[in-house]
Amino acid sequence: MTAGGVSQSEVSQSDVTTAWERHAGWWQAHHTAGEDPEYEDQIIPLIVEQCGNTHRILDLGCGEGQVARALVAARSDREVIGLDIAHAQLLTAATRGGGLRLLRGDLTTLPFRSGSFDGAVACLVFDHVVDFERTLDEVTRVLTPGGIFVFLINHPLMQTPDSGWIDDQILGEHYWRVGPYAVDRVWSEEIAPGVDFPFVHRPISRYINAMAARGLLVEEMLEPLPTPGFVAMATEYEELVGIPRLLIMRLRRQP
Ligand SMILES: C[S@@+](CC[C@H](N)C(=O)[O-])C[C@H]1O[C@@H](n2cnc3c(N)ncnc32)[C@H](O)[C@@H]1O
């Protein structure tokens, strides 16, 4: 893992879009269609559970549609619309089917009337969204009063810029280094050879305070621990079984 730090002003949303267009195929091959035990064992079931009996859901940054397909499959009377900025993701989503409606668009300007959805989901998307406050404005606007927003990100404490495994051969120590947590930062990270994505880090309080200011009330917050299936695939995480990799919140738009 390398963390080539770049300052906030050097990364725009169009850099994020370009990266997703370029690397969508890599991401789909490694993290969808049953390839990623964290999605299969944890992320998808938790999101389906958190969405309860919501009827009309907007999947923000739906990617190739794995979360949206599971939401459709969970309830026969449910309508799910997946919106993403990357053609390369939407093309695969269209091929994989599953009863979704798909739309290309940017989260900062949602092409829906106010109060169109009783549910919204953002799964591992805000980690890439540069203008998160405008996006939160839009999510709040398109939700009905009383509607829910299921928000899932990489746990900000684990995924600070410059975080990563340290293998100290001299001291014989192997540990996860946590970088500066309390500041916002956008940086580019090479997560596999030749595959780099811009990531956005914000401390948890930034999210919570921005949500509270928009009347999005946290009803439940989860910090699930890595599952056995994930640890079997990434054995270095055996030492981290007590540290969550994900942060999930279910928020309700206040009337
Ligand atoms: C890590 S993928 C997650 C995909 C899907 N939510 C899932 O969990 O399978 C992040 C997705 O967010 C999309 N995305 C990033 N910024 C966006 C924006 N401003 N508007 C719409 N989609 C965006 C990317 O194109 C990418 O498909």
Q: How far is the CA of 118 from the centre of ligand 1 (A)?
A: 21
Rg (C-alpha) for the chain, rounded Å, is: 18
Does ligand 1 lie within 6 Å of residue 132's CB atom?
no
The pLDDT value given to residue 5: 42
Amino acid occupying residue 255? P
pTM over 0.85: yes
Does ligand 1 lie within 6 Å of residue 51's CB atom?
no
CA distances from residue 136 to 121, 139, 200 in whole angstroms, order as listed: 12, 5, 15
Got the DSSP string for 192-237?
ETTEEEEEEE--HHHHHHHHHHTTEEEEEEE-PPPPHHHHHHSGGG
CATH numbers and ranges of domains, the chain: 2-253 (3.40.50.150)
d(CA 162, CA 243): 17
Give the residue from 129, 127, 235 showing the smallest Cα distance to 191. Answer: 127
Answer yes or no: are the C-beta atoms of 250 and 57 closer than 8 Å.
Answer: no
136-162 burial, b if ≥16 CB within 10 A, otherwise e? bbbbbebbbeebbbbbbbbbbbbbbbb
What residues have CB less than 8 Å from 34, skipping those under 6 apart? 40
Which two three-digit tokens encode residue 66? 């794995």
Answer yes or no: are the C-beta atoms of 197 and 217 closer than 8 Å.
Answer: no
Answer yes or no: are the C-beta atoms of 93 and 67 closer than 8 Å.
Answer: no
pLDDT digits (tens, 9 = 90+) for 48-90: 999 999 999 999 999 999 999 999 999 999 999 999 999 999 9
CA distances from residue 139 to 127, 144, 199 in whole angstroms, order as listed: 16, 10, 20
Does ligand 1 lie within 6 Å of residue 23's CB atom?
no
Q: How far is the CA of 84 from the centre of ligand 1 (A)?
A: 6
Does ligand 1 lie within 6 Å of residue 66's CB atom?
yes
Q: How far is the CA of 156 from the centre of ligand 1 (A)?
A: 17
Nearest ligand 1 atom, CA 106 = 20
Residue minimizing CA distance to atom 20 of ligand 1: 106
Strands 173-177 and 101-104: unpaired
The pLDDT value given to residue 230: 79
Residue from 96, 125, 153, 154 to probe ligand 1 pocket by mutation (most atoms less than 8 Å from CB): 125
What residues have CB less than 8 Å from 209, skipping those under 6 apart? none
The pLDDT value given to residue 121: 99
Taking the chain (255 residues) in consecutive chunks of 10 residues, what is each chunk's mean pLDDT? Answer: 45 91 98 96 97 98 98 97 98 97 98 98 96 97 98 91 83 84 89 92 96 98 88 74 90 96
